[in-house]
Structure 1
Amino acid sequence: MKMPRSAKILLVEDNSGDEFLVRDAFERGRVRRELEVVRDGEAALDRLRGLGEYADTPVPDLILPDLNLPKIDGRDVLQTLKSDDRLANIPVLVLTTSSSQADVTRCYSLHANAYLTKPFDALGYEEIVDAVERFWFSTAILPPEGSTRH
């Protein structure tokens, strides 16, 4: 298994309990990572576009958005970033409570790279993080750091 560079992960999550479980699972993981959290869809798009307070913030390697977000829905965030040539190549792994087939289908039609349902306990989050780390940061080849610009 190759040793990944430090991973920049953007979590778009308005629920502090889910944020805690994701953060804890990544802290227990094997990959050096910088986990950044934004609380709503509007902040996510500002962050990804490098607007306002995010002007000089590097683009993340991976985005984990929830679907049901305040201000701008996660589906709209996904559609917006996948239709932006500067952001479209960033892998997006939807992490949500919804197991609705309509949501799954819509997210894949909007070019989500994976659809994951939130587990019910900390062990489930650790399993998801382990799978994400093994695939996205050890097996898959990501675009070189800095290849996506604002």
Structure 2
Amino acid sequence: MTVKMDNVGIVADDLEPVIGFFTELGLELVGRGTVDGEWSGRVTGLPGQRVEIAMMQTPDGHSRLELSRFLHPAVVADHRRAPVNALGYLRVMFSVDDIDDTIDRLRAHDVELVSDDVVRFENAYRLAYVRGPEGILVGLAEDVSQSDA
């Protein structure tokens, strides 16, 4: 049996700054629209739902994010500022070529580092968690194993 990840979903209150943030990170907006109808409510268990979505993908086309803004029904919980040890889905992590440059570019989108600095894990990675628009938690990883060889 073959399994492939199709996408990760993120619910936002305002899609524009979130799209801008992920565009700056390097993802591409590949589609946008509204999802509603009897079939969609049956899938999610939310009859009568109406959701604005934006689909983004990484440059290689292998990983996608589905950004959603619920028009109906209203959002029932807010986990945007949950700490990194909260139960449930936590974050999405991206591999980047230059973590310092990436963080510098993302600062224009009100990004804040979760800790004080970028952390090195052995001779393998430089890592950081950042909070983007609406408190979305994103991990960044720079592979430094080749540069140390």
Q: Could you say whether these structures have the same fold, taking a TM-score greater than 0.5 normalized by the shorter chain as the test? A: no
When you count strand as a share of all residues, which structure comes out higher? 2
When you count helix as a share of all residues, which structure comes out higher? 1
Q: Which has the higher contact order (CA 8 A, sep 6+)?
A: 1
